[in-house]
Structure 1
Amino acid sequence: MSAAPDSTPAYSYLGPVGTFTWEAMRQVPDAEGAVWRSVANVGEALDDVMTGRSVAAMIAIENSVEGGVSATQDALATIPGLRIIGEFLVPVNFVLVARPGTRIEDVRVVSAHPVAYAQCRRFLESAIPSHGHIPAASNVAAAAGLLESTLAEAAVAPPGITDHHELEVLAEGIGDNPNAVTRFVLVSRTLGLPERTGADKTSVIVELPDNAPGRLLEMLEQFATRGVNMSLIESRPIGDALGRYRFVIDLDGHVRDERVADALLGLKRFSPNVMFLGSYPRADQQQIEVVSQYGDDVFTDARAWLRGILDGGAPA
């Protein structure tokens, strides 16, 4: 991304150029023409947002193979004032690259980001049975490192890496799961909510009030009794004692949907700590199907009925 005047907004992403996070950033219309700040980790990206160096940061939050990204989930749970304003999906596949002239038979050590290495293990163990592994900070850093060091003969990298570095592809499509997808979220300090689209997602982090039997069920009932589907629920240790966990939850719907708003009110009454992370359009644009008994009008009619009773009106 070319340089821009100081007044141009900046966006942070896990770099360098060519990473999957960079690919996700390319999907953000508002980032076109902005300054893109390449950072080394999630903490640095979110610090850019908190300090105002960037208006938003793109971070990976979930992978269809590995599950939730714990570093991202923990950061969102411990840094107040952040909001998710969008999500983006990037298909994840890998190629094996090497310095020009290298054959796959020459490879003894492979450099790769630990997550990428885990997702290519089947191919690597088959094609290079006795190889060693050097962890890299990112998929692109693994490839770029081949031109700076001879510690590894090959690297696991994203497709298109040869557009940015003078390397040769030894093998394509080396990922164990051809359907792997990583979900990224754009995080900002903007408190305004994106408008409802009918294809929305709401993210929260919730703590249980105590470890009494049935507490998890009580939390889940806040959603079930209002017809709110959860598309993700994962536990993460709070860190203050063994056995204490918080839950990262994605809900189908927007906080302006009556059923979602009512569920969050119930959740707030139940939990000592609820963090609202945002309501935003789903990346897949899939419309949320709502059972008629949980439509907005049902909730508004119920409130009107109760208001009439409280105001002394005739029973309906």
Structure 2
Amino acid sequence: MLTIATLGPKDTFSDLATKRYIQAIQAKQPVQTADIKYYGTLTQTFQAVGKECQLGVLPIENLSEGYVQVVLDQLLDTKLSVISELLLPIQFSFVGFCQEMSELTDLYVQFVAHGQCAEFINGLEGVKIHNTQSNIESLVLAKKHGNKAGAIIPQHALSHAADANIINNDVTNYANNQTRFLVLSETPQARIADKQYKTTLVVNNKQDCPGVLGNIVSAFALQKVNLTSIMSRPTRSQIGNYHFFIDIDGHQEDPHIATALAEIQSSYDVTVIGSYIKALN
């Protein structure tokens, strides 16, 4: 049986993304069975891959909030491989256990969801905001707090809040909000012909060499490689020294990409985290 780690408890967006991934692999391999193991934090989820679980599904990037930093930091120093990505529509609702909004004193919201619902949250006056590890935890804590509390939860989880007195069905900043999830494994994904690929890599700048970013961009540009994103993360050795987390279109074995990578690797430490089939919008 395949075991997959994801952020719990049940009905988080990570759980929904994991179930969609399972549906996709079972459509190709009907005999494949999978069990989801839930973890309390993203770090715990990441660290379970290759130990307690064979795979992990973690959020890496949101349309409005950008990269999930805690996952990025784990990827910067990992031996795991990205084998797939998923794009999941993300919409949030507010549920209140008070009789009137004026009675609301405490709001529970997951730390990433906070930014995605900032316009609604910033409109609340005199309300204490509690950041949580997961969206379902927000609901659990709000219920535990009592009749002056509320929570921001996924729209698909509203059935768990049937006892709420106030429901605002959509408090998301953007109607087209999406989160990108990565599937991680100890074993790289075998290449499939005629598929569109994306490659994720990290350029480590431990030596604090000048002109790193310019040299990386030039090497890819010379080979006409399309960079879809570049994200810098501190090396934690000194201020102003960064690693670069990069996504490019194509597979690492494509001749033009292999040439560009060889050029960069001649000067810098490069880790290819994975080449995987590109998710379609």
TM-score normalised to structure 2 length: 0.90
Query: What is the CA–CA distance in structure 2 between the aligned matches of 1:62 and 1:152, rounded to whole Å?
Result: 33
Contact 1:111 1:152 in 2 (8 A): no
2:106 paired with 1:109? yes
Number of equivalences: 273
Query: What is the CA–CA distance in structure 2 between the aligned matches of 1:155 and 1:34, rounded to whole Å?
Result: 31
Q: Displacement, 1:196?
A: 4.3
Q: Displacement, 1:250?
A: 0.2
Deviations 1:75-133 (A, max 9, x none): 01122x2000000011121100133x73333322111112212222212333x333221
2:12 paired with 1:12? no
1:291 corresponds to? none
Q: Displacement, 1:165?
A: 4.6
- Structural RMSD (CA): 2.0
2:201 paired with 1:208? no
Contact 1:219 1:270 in 2 (8 A): no
CA spacing shift, 1:263–1:193, aligned 2, 3 Å: farther
Contact 1:98 1:167 in 2 (8 A): no
2:25 paired with 1:30? yes
1:224 corresponds to? 221
Matches for 1:219-298 after TM superposition, within 5 Å: 219-271=216-268, 273-284=269-280
Matches for 1:117-156 after TM superposition, within 5 Å: 117-126=114-123, 128-150=124-146, 153-156=149-152
| Aligned-partner residue type, residue 203 of structure 1 | T
Partner-residue secondary structure (3-state), 1:72: helix
Query: What is the CA–CA distance in structure 2 between the aligned matches of 1:152 and 1:82, rounded to whole Å?
Result: 44
2:29 corresponds to? none
1:180 corresponds to? 177
**Which runs of 5 or more residues in structure 1 are unaligned?**
1-7, 286-316
Partner-residue secondary structure (3-state), 2:266: helix
Moved more, 31-40 or 259-268: 31-40
Contact 1:134 1:152 in 2 (8 A): no
2:70 corresponds to? 71
2:54 corresponds to? 55
Partner-residue secondary structure (3-state), 1:65: coil
Q: Displacement, 1:150?
A: 2.6
Deviations 1:275-295 (A, max 9, x none): 11110011117xxxxxxxxxx
Q: Give the number of the structure whose residues are more often strand, by fraction.
A: 2
Query: What is the CA–CA distance in structure 2 between the aligned matches of 1:202 and 1:122, rounded to whole Å?
Result: 34
Query: What is the CA–CA distance in structure 1 between the aligned matches of 2:264 and 2:147, rounded to whole Å?
Result: 52
CA spacing shift, 1:39–1:115, aligned 2, 3 Å: same
Contact 1:196 1:281 in 2 (8 A): no
Query: What is the CA–CA distance in structure 1 between the aligned matches of 2:271 and 2:8, rounded to whole Å?
Result: 28
Contact 2:60 2:181 in 1 (8 A): yes
Deviations 1:187-225 (A, max 9, x none): 000134332444210000002374454332112111000
Partner-residue secondary structure (3-state), 2:238: coil
More RCO (CA 8 Å, sep 6+): 2
TM-score normalised to structure 1 length: 0.80
Contact 1:231 1:250 in 2 (8 A): yes
Query: What is the CA–CA distance in structure 2 between the aligned matches of 1:274 and 1:208, rounded to whole Å?
Result: 9
Percent identity between matched residues is 26
Query: What is the CA–CA distance in structure 2 between the aligned matches of 1:194 and 1:182, rounded to whole Å?
Result: 25
1:300 corresponds to? none
| Aligned-partner residue type, residue 12 of structure 2 | T
